[in-house]
A and B are shown apart, each in its own frame.
Chain A
Amino acid sequence: MQIQPLHPLFVGEVSGIDLSKPISPEQARQIEAGMDQYGVLVFHDQQITDEQQMDFSRNFGELEVSSQGEMSKPGELRLAVQMADVSNLDEHNQVRARDDAKRLSSLGNRLWHSDASFRAIPARYSLLSARVVPGAGGNTEFADMRAAHDALDAKTKAEIEDLITEHSIAFSRAELGFDAFPAEHQAKLRPVRHRLVTTHPGSGRKVLYLSSHIGTIVGWPVPEARAYLRDLIEHATQRRFVHAHQWRVNDLVMWDNRATLHRVRRYADMAEIRDLRRTTTRCDGPTAEQVLAAE
């Protein structure tokens, strides 16, 4: 197994491994070490089934059920609940209509975010496998939050070191004017708390833990917090910290949500199919103490 860097700061391309077969503990350790170093790993030409994707993912922790899976009724899902459906298809494999609520909610993925940062125990790795890709557009972009932290000036680093943020899926969706959450899922919208600056357990590097799911900073007036977070996200997603992944069928990309932000770019989703499938593993614990009101 070999890893070649794809960007001066992060992102490696892995070759010499077949993800459709069980991997050895040594290979799993090598991949984890690669994740600690690169934050994002790209595997090309990996034709895998959902089962194989889940088996590979379980090498890196417990799988989480996607919030989409949690908030859907049985029969509304195209895939198993551990497979987040990152496609523009409904349960009958039809392209979703322009005003489909699931389509509109998923447009929130076009904002820079860290997966499941709205959970008290957020996502560790996300693994995204491309089964069908559009002819143009639909890239996934990644940004290196370790490099973004390193590049802050000393004054800003000191200012943000101990700040606590509040995350909710409702914040990122409201940014785009989406609020059609079913009443029975209101509890899932409750904000959870995270540190704005975390230390990555694998690399020991400090990380800006940003996400469009952040709605405020504890102790700050909301508009001041949001204006500041926008400034930080703008800083952290400058082109020099960003790698754009252009999808090919059978790519699998895995990223560390504790070290990177990502977003999807626009494509002609009324005319072309983009069928990507995501598995997600959980972090070991919360980054900050939760208040009683939170989950």
Chain B
Amino acid sequence: MAINIRELHPSFAAEVSGIDIGRPLTPNEAAAIEAGMDRHAVLVFRDQPLTDDQQIDFSRNFGTIEVTLARQMAKPGDARLREEMGDISNLDANNRLRARDDARRLYALGNRLWHADASFRAEGAKYSLLSARVVPGSGGNTEFADMRAAYDALDAKTKAEIDDLVTEHSIAFSRGELGFEDFNSEHSAKLNPVRHPLVLVHPVTRRKSLFLSAHIGGIVGWPVPEARAFIRDLTEHATQRPFVHAHQWRVNDLVMWDNRTTMHRARRYNDAAEIRDLRRTSLRGAGPYVAQCLAAE
């Protein structure tokens, strides 16, 4: 059966059918998916029951898996899944719902802010792949925003103003926005800001995109409050409803997105009563895109 790609939104996001991603891909299939990612930035695969091993194998067609920061900072014995799997659930290591004031739960609430995965790493992230194993009865959508369309829609003056700006990203910024600062001191090096251009050029399509993320805490050379107010304005522009696609999860959906050309966020659900078990693999980016300062990793 041939791979079929159907558009879900006028500017990005598409649904892929005609492929079983639990089996090894042929080089042609992998190339077709990669080309689909270049064009659509978000791909949705329905009815793909996957084991963690299958998800990892599928992900490796497109790059090198990166261990999530949450996992790198987790205590031994605190993790439910193997190291390559980012645990996007409300479950603890014993498969119980996390308590309301559980630090891991409060940390994860940062995912409700618009962000690009791992933008706090100098190398950035390429794709993220999220597989739904258990979904709540309502809420918990993941929303995506097209940062290429958002860039294209800026006026010429703004494009000229931002073209050479460099931003600083840290996990501590996005968590600080929500008042979370419960980081273990042994991980303080992981909180060092890294630098990225505000405008990225996609290596294949050469399209420009706005490289925004809740992890941004400053613009190099700008006073911090001015930078943050401007980044908020840009984020508001970039996440207007015409640039957004909401994914409503079904069990066995796998959604993959390109963190260089999209932002995403999770929406609220009743996490005190319902289970949402999503599992993420993430691929390392090809950065750094700009020189890092000495203080950064």
A binding-site residues for B, Cβ under 8 Å: 98-99, 104-105, 107-108, 110-111, 173, 175-178, 215-216, 221-224, 226-228, 230-231, 265-266
B226 sits at the interface (CB 8 A): yes
Asked if A228 contacts B268 (CB within 8 A), the reply is yes
Known A110-B233, A221-B101, A230-B113; 4 more pairs at CB < 8 Å: A222-B106, A224-B100, A227-B112, A227-B268
Give min CB distance, B219 to chain A, whole Å.
Answer: 11
| Structural contact, A175 and B100, CB atoms closer than 8 A | no
Stretch from B28-36, B86-94, B177-185, B275-283 contacting the other chain: B177-185
User: B106-137: contact bitstring with A at CB < 8 Å (1 yes, 0 no)?
Assistant: 11011011000000000000000000000000
Interface residues of B (CB under 8 A from A): 100-101, 106-107, 109-110, 112-113, 175, 177-180, 217-218, 223-226, 228-230, 232-233, 267-268
**Known contacts A221-B101, A230-B112; A266/B229 CB under 8 A:** yes
Residue pair B179, A223 in contact (C-beta under 8 Å): yes
Q: In whole angstroms, how far apart are the Cα atoms of A215 and B178 in the complex?
A: 9
Question: What CA separation (Å) do A203 and B205 show in the bound complex?
Answer: 56
- Which of B113, B180, B223, B232 interacts with A99 by CB under 8 Å? B223
The verdict on A227 contacting B217 (CB below 8 Å), with A176-B229, A266-B233 known, is no
Q: Do residues A104 and B179 form an inter-chain contact, with CB atoms below 8 A?
A: no
Query: Would you call B228 and A226 a contact (CB within 8 A)?
Result: no
Tell me if A's interface is mostly helix, strand, loop or mixed: helix
From B99, which residue of chain A is reached at the shortest CB distance? A221
Report the nearest A residue to B179, measured CB to CB: A222
Determine the chain B residues whose CB is within 8 A of the CB of A216 once the complex forms: 179
**Roughly how many angstroms separate A230 CA and B178 CA in the complex, as a whole number?**
10
Q: Are A226 and B230 in contact (CB under 8 A)?
A: no
Q: What separation, in Å, do the CA atoms of A216 and B178 have in the docked complex? A: 9
**Nearest CB in chain B: distance from A78 CB, A:** 21
Determine the chain A residues whose CB is within 8 A of the CB of B217 once the complex forms. Answer: 177
Q: Evaluate contact between B178 and A176: CB separation under 8 angstroms.
A: no
B228's closest neighbor in chain A, by CB? A176
Docked Cα-Cα span, A178 to B227, in Å, equals 11
Bound complex: CA A228 to CA B271 (Å): 13
Give the complex CA separation of A222 and B218 in angstroms: 23
Distance of A146 Cα from B233 Cα, bound (Å): 24
**Is the pair B178, A222 in contact by a Cβ cutoff of 8 Å?**
yes
Distance A230 CA – B110 CA, assembled complex (angstroms): 12
When C-beta atoms are compared, the residue in chain B nearest to A100 turns out to be B223
Find out whether the CB atom of B109 lies under 8 angstroms from the CB atom of A223: yes
Nearest-neighbor residue (CB-CB) of B106 within chain A: A223
21 contacts between A and B (CB under 8 A): A98-B226, A104-B224, A104-B226, A107-B229, A111-B229, A175-B177, A175-B228, A176-B224, A177-B225, A177-B228, A178-B224, A215-B179, A222-B179, A223-B179, A224-B100, A224-B106, A227-B109, A227-B268, A230-B112, A266-B230, A266-B233
Cβ of A56 to closest chain B Cβ, rounded Å: 31
CA distance A3 to B177 in the complex (A): 41
Tell me which residues across on chain A come within 8 A of B233, comparing CB atoms. Answer: 110, 265-266
With A110-B232, A177-B217, A221-B106 in contact, is A226–B225 under 8 Å at CB? no
Query: What's the Cα separation between A111 and B110 when bound, in Å?
Result: 19
Distance of A110 Cα from B228 Cα, bound (Å):
10
- Bound CA span A226–B106, Å: 11
Measured CB to CB, the closest approach of chain B to A103, in angstroms, equals: 8
A266 to B230, CA, bound (A): 8
Q: In the complex where A177-B217, A227-B178, A227-B268 touch, is A221 in contact with B100 (Cβ < 8 A)?
A: yes
How many Å lie between the Cα of A111 and that of B223 in the bound state?
17
- Considering the complex, give the chain B residue whose CB is closest to the CB of A216: B179
Q: Are A222 and B180 in contact (CB under 8 A)?
A: yes
A265 to B224, CA, bound (A): 17
Question: How near does chain A come to B74, taking the closest CB pair, in angstroms?
Answer: 18
Is A107 in contact with B226, judged by CB distance below 8 angstroms?
yes
Residues of A within 8 A of B267 (CB): 231
